[in-house]
Amino acid sequence: MTGRTARRRVLRVSVPDGSGPDPRADLLAVEEPLEIRVGGEPLSVTMRTPGDDLDLAAGFLAAEGVISSAAELSQIKMCDSNVADVTLAPGVGGPGARLRRQFVTTSACGVCGRESIDAIRVRARYDVSADPARIAPATLAGLPGRLRAAQRVFASTGGLHAAGLFTAGGDLLALREDVGRHNAVDKVIGWALRAGRLPLAGCVLLVSGRASFELTQKALVAGIPVLAAVSAPSSLAAELAAESGMTLVGFLRGASMNVYAGAERLAG
């Protein structure tokens, strides 16, 4: 498997102290394409950090509404280090005309090339509005520190996003890192799907960047009642969360946070 970091020579320049240029080695997060195939036919190419690629392929298909459980997967295999081939279980319909094409996404945006917002609204199979989960604000406030402490590749490169799945009590269930925010979330969802844990009732998904519409949609598709982000949500993410009964928290930093939807889940 391709490594997650790459070493490169850099020239460190420090202006304030007037010291001379300092050649040194630096670690970079690896970014490489992963082609996802269904039944041998190309479906998607996404730029990702290698690792947990089977989870990424499974999570991508779940987020796109192609599959909803591990029972709908017959096999996922790596044809080589950058190609994942998915075989669906007998009787499971494959990607429709909307997805049966090869399209390229980048590490910055998982929905590039889509025709419209309506085209990416996936019908959620789970009703998160009925989820009785409650989480204390103090527990939420402690999650970013736990996420950062578990980010091994970020610690050495400073160049990766992370998605962490927690219980309402603050226990870390799964963490995935990637150069793409959407990929990190897909890897978490794929892990849950392959482990037979969907829907993720009573769970909190924490993302290291902002909460976009796409990430909110992915959380909804996985049945996650609480989405938290260390940065801002988008207006459409807040609207989707409110419409679906999801709790959306942004600017989760230190002891403060903004609650954009579903404040009733914050115990106390």
Secondary structure in 3-state letters for the chain: CCCCEEEEEEEECCCCCCCCCEEEEEEEECCEEEEEEECCEEEEEEEECCCCHHHHHHHHHHHCCCCCCHHHEEEEEEEECCEEEEEECCCCCCCCCCCCCCEEECCCCCCCCCCCCHHHCCCCCCCHHHCCCCECHHHHHHHHHHHHHHCHHHHHHCCCEEEEEEECCCCEEEEEEECCHHHHHHHHHHHHHHCCCCCCCCEEEEECCCECHHHHHHHHHCCCCEEEECCCECHHHHHHHHHHCCEEEEEEECCEEEEEECHHHECC
Instruction: Kindly name the residue from 79, 109, 112, 203 that is annotated as catalytic.
Output: 109
Does the annotation mark 109 as catalytic? Answer: yes
The residues annotated as belonging to the active site are: 109
